């Protein structure tokens, strides 16, 4: 019988700097406000190009948060897995390749 793998909801980040976490949360709250603004723009039948510009802004803001998270993941989680040894390192390499593939779409 194989051991069950931890579900994504049970895992926690390793070594998250409180300042970085707070900065990311602040960015996400700002993004949340931007999304609500876009919703209002659509409800008000605002000019399509203006709505699309706001959507582009949200995309870039989310990408910024994702970069911070990826950096932390590489710095702490990936480094720990590589130091742990072959099996953990191989799992981490696969995870990183999957993350990059999904993030580049």
Ordered DSSP codes for 15-39: S--HHHHHHHHHHHHHHHHHHHHHH
Within 10 angstroms of residue 49's Cβ, the number of other Cβ atoms is: 7
Whether residue 84 lies inside any domain: the answer is: yes
The 8 Å CB, 24+ separation contacts for 87-94 are: none
Whether residue 2 lies inside any domain: the answer is: no
Task: Report CA dihedral (69, 71, 73, 79) to the nearest 10 degrees.
Answer: -170
Average pLDDT of the chain to the nearest whole number:
88
Whether residue 33 lies inside any domain: the answer is: yes
Whether residue 85 lies inside any domain: the answer is: yes
Residue count (the chain): 105
Total tally of structural domains belonging to the chain: 1
Whether residue 98 lies inside any domain: the answer is: yes
Provide the residue range defining the domain that includes 42. 18-104
CATH code of the domain containing 25 = 1.20.58.1000
pTM over the 0.75 mark: yes
**pLDDT 10s digits, 54-87:** 999 999 999 999 999 999 899 988 999 999 999 9
């Amino acid at each position: 019988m194989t051991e069950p793998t931890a579900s994504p909801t049970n895992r926690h980040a390793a070594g998250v700097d409180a300042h970085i976490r707070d900065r990311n949360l602040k960015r996400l709250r700002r993004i949340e406000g931007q999304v609500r603004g876009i919703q209002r723009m659509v409800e008000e039948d605002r000019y399509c190009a203006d709505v699309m510009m706001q959507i582009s802004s949200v995309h870039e803001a989310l990408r910024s948060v994702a970069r911070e998270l990826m950096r932390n993941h590489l710095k702490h989680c990936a480094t720990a897995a590589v130091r742990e040894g072959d099996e953990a390192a191989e799992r981490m390499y696969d995870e990183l390749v999957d993350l990059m593939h999904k993030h580049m779409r």
